[in-house]
Structure 1
């Protein structure tokens, strides 16, 4: 897992910081962004292998960020995070090109498994 480089994007700073720390403990290099603009800038500077993206953020929402990632970096898999037990938003994101989605609150093991599958999907191309 040491070679995994993931970008976590969520406006809930405590959540994304804690998630980053938990991934680091499992050998995943996790960078954080707290809004869509920052995420897009970081992707341009040093593209991650996988993006974990919250759908509900102030300003530029997750779906807009997803659309821009698909347009400029179509090979980077994006895993969406939805809240409020909403699978409808996750399915909408998948129609727009997301690799998969997870509902908050997250299970760290499930997230790591989805990141692993996303990495495998890129390697198969």
Structure 2
């Protein structure tokens, strides 16, 4: 499994990446939506975990762009301030799952293992 983590909180994505790698899951990370899309252009990912609120290219725009470039990619939306409207909108754009911060690595793994 190959995972891309996109969040403007560098400490979060680096820590999650390390924890995934320890569990045998290959991962890359980016601290902006723009940088994440550059990585997606270069290679496919099974899962992209993307934050909703980021400077520049935010989560909604990132989901649209990811699905345009790689429609088969599954997406987990990360949010610290979830509203029903935001989650519904993200799912309509193509997100498959969502997770509320703070992220528990076991919760993330469980979401990625579901069919």
Scaled by the length of structure 1, the TM-score of the pair is 0.86
Offset at residue 87 of structure 1 (A): 4.1
Structure 1 unaligned blocks of 5 or more: 121-125
- Written as runs of structure 1 = structure 2, the 5 A alignment for 1:18-29 is 18-29=15-26
Question: Is the contact between residue 9 and residue 39 of structure 1 (CA under 8 Å) also seen in structure 2?
Answer: yes
3-state SS in 1 of match to 2:54: coil
Matching of residue 68 in structure 1 with residue 65 in structure 2? yes
Offset at residue 91 of structure 1 (A): 2.6
| Structure 2 partner of 1:47 | 44
Query: Relative to structure 2, which stretch is displaced further, 25-34 or 88-97?
Result: 88-97
Q: What is the root-mean-square deviation in Å for CA atoms of aligned residues?
A: 1.1
| Structure 1 partner of 2:112 | 115
Q: In structure 2, how many angstroms separate the alpha carbons of the residues matched to 1:87 and 1:17?
A: 26
Question: Is the contact between residue 10 and residue 34 of structure 1 (CA under 8 Å) also seen in structure 2?
Answer: yes
| Structure 2 partner of 1:97 | 94
Q: In structure 2, how many angstroms separate the alpha carbons of the residues matched to 1:17 and 1:90?
A: 25
Scaled by the length of structure 2, the TM-score of the pair is 0.93
